């Protein structure tokens, strides 16, 4: 009953958003705030299902993005996207770092806040691109290459700060980094070199078998990636890249309804994780930092897409698409709450502001 009532409530919010022509994502986030820890009526019975559904939602969003591109396109985008990735880091990591130091935090929590401001939300951005039918726009490959490079950067960043937080030795730090980089490289090579075999395994006349095979491979690869300390989202994205030919179109048709369901659960769960009582004290500095880093992300996308010679509208779309922060930012903040209690509430207020601003700005541009 609790789960059913929650999903019906989300359906009503989606109807309201559709009626007035704006993205439902902010409404899902606010609903999560209302029914999460410290909210009006916390959900306890459905907590485990919603948590698992949220993780699946991110994986399916990234898998469906991967289906839009081939391995050759991914190689080319990563090569041409390196300057944009570097600019992304230079513009978006320092504001968080500087803000943490201004707030009087120690260097390590400030570095964590730099990570919070650096990485965009793959889950929210992919949902917005799909919602607004921007997947086939000329700027989208550049936006995706920036997101992939951010996720790859996290394969170095997260093990590094994780070891530093527990006071690891230089040898431990080096070993963790090598394992993460090697695992990411292996998954990338398997997806690009053996994609045709994966496609052949999935291909079948039965929609049921294709659905089970595709869904199972996405979860399996993402789980293996996570065990190897690689982003599970990258694993799901690369499975989408690996599928090619007619099977890609069939998978898109069969997985799309599941993606839509679990993506909504992801945004709802995102709000559930934030205690509304922690937001007011941090809202003002978090919004100020959010405005600064919304501008720096906009500059990143605008500059990156401008390098490929597209129209001004494409540059505007790319800049606005990158504004949202989300799941990774919350994960990074969670690492440092033991050494800096203010980091969690600050990051929650910051992420909530940009998770609402990003989709709304994109809808207004449309």
What is the secondary structure of 147-192 as a DSSP string?
HHHHHHHHHHHHHHHHHHHTT--HHHHHHHHHHHHHHHHHHHHHHH
- Distance between CA 50 and CA 40 in Å, rounded? 18
- Distance between CA 112 and CA 174 in Å, rounded? 19
- Distance between CA 140 and CA 26 in Å, rounded? 22
pTM of this structure: 0.74
Q: Which fold has domain 2-365?
A: Na+/H+ antiporter like fold (1.20.1530)
Cβ(122)–Cβ(147) under 8 Å? yes
CB within 8 A of 93, min separation 6: which ones? 114, 115, 117, 118
Closest to 153 in 3D by CA, of 105, 113, 120, 198 = 120
What is the model's pLDDT at position 182?
A: 75
- Distance between CA 120 and CA 321 in Å, rounded? 9
| Inter-helix orientation angle 170-193/232-242, to 10° | 20
Cβ(321)–Cβ(145) under 8 Å? no
Closest to 119 in 3D by CA, of 173, 156, 77 = 156
CB within 8 A of 224, min separation 6: which ones? 187, 235
CB within 8 A of 319, min separation 6: which ones? 297, 298, 299, 300, 301, 302, 305
- Tens digit of pLDDT per residue, the chain (366 long)? 888 888 899 999 989 887 876 667 778 888 888 887 666 677 766 777 888 888 888 888 878 877 876 766 667 767 777 888 899 999 999 999 999 999 999 998 999 999 999 999 887 888 888 888 888 888 888 898 898 888 778 767 776 777 677 665 666 667 766 776 776 677 677 766 777 777 888 888 888 999 999 999 999 988 887 787 666 777 787 788 788 677 888 888 898 899 888 888 887 887 777 778 778 888 999 999 999 999 999 999 999 998 888 888 999 999 999 999 877 787 788 777 778 888 888 988 898 899 889 888 988 876
What is the model's pLDDT at position 285?
A: 93
DSSP H helices, the chain, are: 2-20, 25-35, 47-67, 71-102, 107-118, 122-131, 140-165, 170-193, 195-202, 207-227, 232-242, 246-272, 279-306, 312-321, 327-336, 343-365
Domain ranges of the chain: 2-365
The DSSP output letter for 230 is: S
What is the model's pLDDT at position 57?
A: 85
First-to-last CA distance in the chain? 38
Cβ(138)–Cβ(167) under 8 Å? no
Cβ(59)–Cβ(233) under 8 Å? yes
Closest to 14 in 3D by CA, of 25, 5, 4, 6 = 25
């Amino acid at each position: 009953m609790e789960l059913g009532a929650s999903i019906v409530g989300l359906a009503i919010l989606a109807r309201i958003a559709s009626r007035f022509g704006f993205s439902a994502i902010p409404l899902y986030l606010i609903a999560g705030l209302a029914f999460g820890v410290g909210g009006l009526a916390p959900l306890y019975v459905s907590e485990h299902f919603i948590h698992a559904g949220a993780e699946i939602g991110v994986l399916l969003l990234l898998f469906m993005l991967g289906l839009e591109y081939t391995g050759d396109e991914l190689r080319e985008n990563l090569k041409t996207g390196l300057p944009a990735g570097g600019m992304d880091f230079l513009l978006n990591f320092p504001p968080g770092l500087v803000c943490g130091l201004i707030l009087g935090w120690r260097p390590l929590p400030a570095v964590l806040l730099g990570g919070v401001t650096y990485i965009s939300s793959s889950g929210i951005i992919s949902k917005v691109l799909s919602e607004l039918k921007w997947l086939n726009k000329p700027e989208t490959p550049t936006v995706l290459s920036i997101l992939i490079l951010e996720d790859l950067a996290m394969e170095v960043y997260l093990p590094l700060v994780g070891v530093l937080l527990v006071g690891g030795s230089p040898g431990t730090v080096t070993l963790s980094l090598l394992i993460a980089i090697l695992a990411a490289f292996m998954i990338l090579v398997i997806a690009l070199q053996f994609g045709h075999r994966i496609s052949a395994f999935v291909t079948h006349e039965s929609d049921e078998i294709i659905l089970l095979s595709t869904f199972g491979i996405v979860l399996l690869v993402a789980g293996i990636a996570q065990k190897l300390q690689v982003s599970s989202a990258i694993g799901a994205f690369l499975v989408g890249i690996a599928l090619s030919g007619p099977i890609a179109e069939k998978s898109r048709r069969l997985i799309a309804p599941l993606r839509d369901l679990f993506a909504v659960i992801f945004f709802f769960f995102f709000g559930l994780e934030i205690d509304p009582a922690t937001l007011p004290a941090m809202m003002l500095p978090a919004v100020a930092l959010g405005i600064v880093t919304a501008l720096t992300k906009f500059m990143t996308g605008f500059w990156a897409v401008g390098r490929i010679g597209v129209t001004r509208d494409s540059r505007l779309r790319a800049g606005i698409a990158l504004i949202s922060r989300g799941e990774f930012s919350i994960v990074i903040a969670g690492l440092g709450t033991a050494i800096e209690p203010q980091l969690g509430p600050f990051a929650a207020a910051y992420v909530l502001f940009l998770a609402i601003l990003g989709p709304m700005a994109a809808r207004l541009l449309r």
